[in-house]
Structures are given as structure tokens and as C-alpha cells.
Amino acid sequence: MIIKVLGPGCANCQNLEKAVRGALAGLGRVGMEATVEKVTDYAAIAGYGVMSTPALVIDDTVVLAGRVPTVAQVRELLMAPTPTRKA
């Protein structure tokens, strides 16, 4: 699973990354493997169709944009069998 955190490095982007890492740490016990990448290039961010940062991309699908979710919400998104585009 490839997780991308989209954002130019703002405070909220760091909070999102923190939430993702927190969720992954919690899921580590059930053996989920994932890499987290940061996407800070504006053209790349906009390319995903994202207009409000931060945004979360799981396996090339945008699952969340414009706000920082809680750790529990990220966990739900990660657990979803095929990433659902709502949350």
C-alpha cells in the first residue's frame, strides 16, 4: 500500500502525516505494510485534482482533502478494502 500525503509543508500537512503515522503504528500489529510519501510539488498536487490541502492519497486514489482527520478516521480509511472516497 502506498500512502501519499499531499501538501506544500503547511502545519496541517504535518498534522495529517502525524495522523497517518499514528494510524499505521496502531495497525502495525495486524501486519499492514505501507510506505508513506510526501508530495509537496504544486503541479503534482493539483494533478490529483486536489484544490484544498492537505489531502490523502491511498494507492493513487484521493480519499480525503481539505482537512485533518483524526487517527481513528485515517485507520478506517486504511482498513477499507477498496479505498472509499468518503470520510
- Tell which positions 6-65 bind another protein, by CB under 8 A: 8, 10, 12, 42-43, 45-53, 55, 57, 60-65
74 is a site residue for another protein (CB under 8 A): no
Q: Contact at 8 Å (CB) between 32 and 58?
A: no
My answer on whether omega of the bond before 54 falls inside 30° of 0, hence cis, is yes
Residue type, 84: T
**What interhelical angle do 71-79 and 11-27 show, nearest 10?**
60
Q: What single-letter DSSP state applies at residue 2? A: E
Residue with smaller CB distance to another protein, 30 or 53? 53
CB of 8 to another protein, least distance (A): 7
* Residues binding another protein (CB under 8 A): 8, 10, 12, 42-43, 45-53, 55, 57, 60-67, 85-87
